[in-house]
Structure 1
Amino acid sequence: MPDYLDDLRLAHVLADAADAATMERFKALDLKVETKPDLTPVTEADRAAEELIRGALRRARPRDSVLGEEFGGEGAGPRRWIVDPIDGTKNYVRGVPVWATLIALVVRGESGEDEGVVGLVSAPALGRRWWASKGGGAWTGRSLSSATPIRVSGVSRLEDASFAYSSLSGWEEQGRLDGFLDLTRAVWRTRGYGDFWPYMMVAEGSVDICAEPELSLWDMAANWVIVEEAGGTFTSLEGERGPVGGNAAASNGLLHEELLAHLRAR
């Protein structure tokens, strides 16, 4: 198996630069906020962080392509970095500390299928960072040299499970609301943590299942690598492995089929 440690080290360097840029403008009274065509907010910090990451990648990995939320795709080739400079921009704008920079490296194999090989989620306002590389396990801590391994939970009964989600919006439009509500009644506990955080809690074992009905690739790629390397399962709501289908379901693996059975479109 290829060693992606150098790429993981680079992801940490990229995240350090992004954290500095985003924290400098977090809660700034003169923060500039605009509305994108899809009616979601974007700040000067989103764009500055992505520009920093792209610039560093051009220097360190000039042959790799990049896909980012704010500036789209750049380059071509079998190695692609996928970046969400601020996942949770609405929280960022309101001063809520639950937001993060998401960085992933996806490699296209000989079969033509993409494989996530590096994933990093950095939430500086929470003082937390999570990361993983293919075959290297999943970790949390402040740096590669100061880290703790993480693992999904062993909860095997839905009635004992904790279920996390972002919000109620989107479930009804996809014909999944009834199943979503049935699921909330079947589990032990529900909480709407939102954005990247539920996936990291699944990876850490503090939450057992989570799902979202509407997502983009940059919302999912880093989470996918970390959840799988922590021993969990990450699929679309229809059961396709990886960050595909425009939605996501993540679990400790033991509860995944029950999770999907509730949330498949009816």
Structure 2
Amino acid sequence: MLDKRLEAALEMAKEAGALAQRMRANPGELQAEIKGPMDLVTAADVAVETLLRDRILTFEPDVAILGEEDGLEGVGRRIWIIDPIDGTVNFSRGMPDWAISIAFSDGVAITHGVIYAPDLGLTATAIRGQGCYLNGQRVLFDETPSDTPIVALGYSARRPIAGYLGRIERLIDHGIEHRRHGAATICLLGVLGRWFDAFYEPALNIWDAAAGLLMIEEAGGHVSHDPLPDFLTKPSDVLARNRLDLKLGSILAGDD
């Protein structure tokens, strides 16, 4: 039997994904606006976040909600953390690499997470202490080293480009390939799906990462980021990896 909170989050995510796809099918409805370099908000982002907030408050009225578009609403330790469309540029261009992310924190840790990538047909779920599942199959990382390690990288305009380019150079020097998808949720799904061995992005917002970081932990992987109270209020550098120790902390380190 599904946990009621996870079941609700799954239903919300599926409904939100269908709404986003319907709106994208009619480009006149998207009304994209530029927030920053390669950072868009569309009418679908706003509509999906509004839908998620409504569904959350119907399910659980006395909670706080933190979302990408409308910020923090409500008070208290219990908080839902939502990204209506992570990878909006990809979404608006018709690419499949975008997802809806929903997480819940009890005030101490992230306890529930759902990532739904409709165009890729991928649904990932996790409950703290109960494992991580990708399309219904439990994910457990093994310790078999990869002959061709790959790290997914994110880029943040909050940090100088030199840090990103230096990171790529250091990875190549250590024989490690890299990829960039323009959506943290997709990169985290990629670690779960064994496309990648790790994902790193500096200055990442918590709504991009909360659900996926719980999933990596529940699959037996390792994550690093600022303490949750800090991460809830400001971006953090984020590293998520499977069991493979590539000494990524030292490889990725550098002046940003």
TM-score bracket relative to the smaller structure:
0.7 to 0.9
Change (3 A) 1:213 1:232: same
For residues 112-123 of structure 1, what are the structure 2 equivalents within 5 Å?
114-123=108-117
Q: Tell me: CA distance 1:213–1:20, structure 2 relative to 1, closer, same or farther (3 Å).
A: same
- Pairing of 1:193-232 with structure 2 (within 5 A): 193-195=181-183, 196-232=185-221
SS of residue in 1 equivalent to 2:204: coil
Deviation at residue 220 of structure 1 after TM alignment: 0.9
Return the letter of the residue paired with 2:64. S
Equivalent residue, structure 2, for 1:250:
240
Distance in 2, matches of 1:54 and 1:168, equals: 27
What letter corresponds to residue 16 of structure 2 in structure 1?
A: A
Within the candidate set 151, 175, 180, 1:192 is matched to: 180
> Per-residue displacement from partner, 1:153-176 (whole Å, max 9, x unpaired)?
42447x642222245966644746
Tell me what 2:119 maps to.
125
User: Is residue 233 from structure 1 mapped to residue 222 from structure 2 by the alignment?
Assistant: yes
Instruction: Kindly indicate whether the alpha-carbon contact (under 8 Å) linking 1:68 and 1:83 is maintained by their aligned counterparts in 2.
Output: yes
CA distance in 2, matches of 1:167, 1:174: 11
The CA RMSD measured in Å over matched residues stands at 2.5
Change (3 A) 1:5 1:175: same
Runs of 4+ in 1 over 3 A off after TM superposition: 36-39, 166-177, 240-245
In structure 2, the CA distance between the partners of 1:38 and 1:179, relative to structure 1 (3 Å rule), is: closer
Q: Which residue of 2 aligns with 1:162?
A: 150
Shift of 1:77: 1.1
SS at match of 1:151: coil
Pair 1:37–1:160, CA change in 2 (3 A): closer
Return the alpha-carbon distance in structure 2 between the equivalents of residues 44 and 168 of structure 1. 23
Give TM-score scaled by structure 2 length: 0.87
Amino acid at match of 2:78: R
The letter for the 2-side match of 1:103 is: I
Aligned to 1:144: none
Q: Deviations over 1:177-215 (max 9, x none)?
A: 424421133134322234111211212333111211232
213-222 vs 198-207, greater mean Cα deviation: 198-207
Moved more, 24-33 or 98-107: 24-33
- Report the identity percentage: 29
Question: Is contact 2:166–2:254 with CA below 8 Å preserved after alignment?
Answer: no
2:68 pairs with 1:76: no
Q: Is residue 154–residue 202 contact of structure 2 (8 Å, CA) maintained in 1?
A: no
TM-score (norm 1): 0.84
Deviation at 1:124, TM superposition (A): 0.6
Distance 2:32 2:182 in 1: 22
Which amino acid counterpart does residue 248 of structure 1 have in structure 2?
A: V
Determine if contact 1:211/1:248 at 8 Å carries over to the other structure.
yes
Q: Point out where structure 2 has 5 or more consecutive residues left out of the alignment.
A: none
